[in-house]
Amino acid sequence: MFSVHNLPNKLKDEVIIKVIRKDLFIVVQKVLFFILLITLPIIFFYIFILPNETLMNGIASYPLIVLGASAYYLFIWVFFVFSFVDYYLDVWIITSERIIDIEQRGFFSRVVSEHNLSKVQDVTSEVHGFFPTILQYGACHVQTAGAVQRFDFNDVPHPERIRNLIIGLVEKKKEKNMHNEKLSNE
């Protein structure tokens, strides 16, 4: 199990500054969609199937309705569970030394990548659309000189604060590196 106190490949003097997940509105959207998927078949059942006595009392139709409804709701549940797992395990960790992107992709795929703060060249934040503007969530893009050149924080709360935080950390890191170089030259 992952612990914020036990980072993968933790560097010396590394401190976790911020752990970021997607905005809660994304979860609310998923829950609303889930509720819609639950209620629509119930409405359909009460309007079209329940009044039809031959369907409800049939030798084959009733068992098939039970199996179909059961399979549908079990599938919806597992779909919701994986939506939650996808949300919960997708994290960006900003530390004093690097940015770590942990991404859960579907059922059996997981990608962990990281960028050293000293390689960050440009940080941009974006907020587009009605809900993102009102609820203050959006994207933050980090351009680096590394192998993976662009890092995207999508649907994160307060992207401009994250941008300012990263810029501040990058400047601190550069000052620290310059100071260390001076010391080593002396």
Nearer to another protein, 3 or 185 (CB): 3
Nearer to another protein, 75 or 131 (CB): 75
Measured between alpha carbons, how far is 143 from 123 in angstroms, rounded to an integer?
Answer: 6
- Write down the H helix ranges in 24-137: 24-44, 53-57, 61-89, 130-135
Measured between alpha carbons, how far is 127 from 140 in angstroms, rounded to an integer?
Answer: 9
Q: What is the CA radius of gyration of the chain?
A: 24
Helical (H) or strand (E) element with 169: helix 159-185
What character string, x for contact with another protein (CB under 8 A) and - otherwise, covers 26-55?
Answer: ----------------------------xx
Residue 154 in the binding site for another protein (CB under 8 A): no
What character string, x for contact with another protein (CB under 8 A) and - otherwise, covers 62-91?
Answer: xxx-xx--xx-xxx-xx--xx-xx--xx--
Residue ranges binding another protein (CB under 8 A): 1-4, 54-55, 58-64, 66-67, 70-71, 73-75, 77-78, 81-82, 84-85, 88-89, 102, 104, 107-108, 110
